[in-house]
Chains A and B, each alone.
Chain A
Amino acid sequence: NAGVTQTPKFQVLKTGQSMTLQCAQDMNHEYMSWYRQDPGMGLRLIHYSVGAGITDQGEVPNGYNVSRSTTEDFPLRLLSAAPSQTSVYFCASSYAGGGPPYEQYFGPGTRLTVT
């Protein structure tokens, strides 16, 4: 198993440019999510999904779009990048549903700089 993979590892954008951060998992997990990590602020949830065709907003969704057309993939789109979106982005996945919380598996991250 490759686990959770993210591409690219690094990206530099100019203000106003668009791009898509890719995330894929091969563990057949229903739940997938995107977090951003900023100094002194920990990780904050951007968007999440509990299955194909189902997405919802997290704590900091503005400026980001997501879709979930397959179980495996959960891309994050920046439509018009802003310097405030400079951050490290992590994708995570886990099983969903009732019962005890399942372990979340994190990808290696994408470091994005917007100039």
Chain B
Amino acid sequence: GNSVTQMEGPVTLSEEAFLTINCTYTATGYPSLFWYVQYPGEGLQLLLKATKADDKGSNKGFEATYRKETTSFHLEKGSVQVSDSAVYFCALSDRVAGANNLFFGTGTRLTVIP
């Protein structure tokens, strides 16, 4: 079946520190991979995505590379800001009969302190 395992949190970093949030997956087919972000009191927003092996998704200074050989999609950012404080979810898409169903990891809460 499909599943996503995500680094446990919470993660607390100082401003300008380097961020890595680990994500590995199990899938029956060839999934697409996503990182979503949830700011306090809001719904989820797509942060970045990758649709095939070796693709790199990037947005707002965040990056993640689809590694099929290690079934991983780790999220990185070189210098975090206080405004990056949020919960980050790794997810994969199971495209069944045109559906766009997502399987999520448990989420990692990031707090960035000035």
B28 at interface by CB-CB < 8 Å = no
Please determine whether B43 and A106 come into contact, CB atoms closer than 8 angstroms.
yes
A50: which B residues are within 8 A, CB to CB?
Answer: 97-99
Please determine whether A98 and B100 come into contact, CB atoms closer than 8 angstroms.
no
The size class of the interface chain B forms with chain A is 20 to 34
Give the number of A-B contacts (CB < 8 Å). Answer: 69
**Nearest CB in chain B to that of A41: its residue:** B106
Interface positions of A (Cβ within 8 A of B):
4, 30-31, 33, 35, 40-45, 48, 50, 56, 58-59, 90, 92, 94-98, 100-104, 106-109
Interface positions of B (Cβ within 8 A of A):
4, 6, 32, 34, 41-46, 49, 51, 89, 93, 95, 97-107
Having A42-B106, A45-B101, one finds 17 other A-B pairs with CB under 8 Å, namely: A4-B43, A31-B98, A33-B100, A35-B102, A42-B4, A42-B105, A43-B89, A43-B104, A44-B104, A45-B103, A94-B100, A95-B100, A98-B98, A100-B51, A101-B95, A104-B100, A108-B42
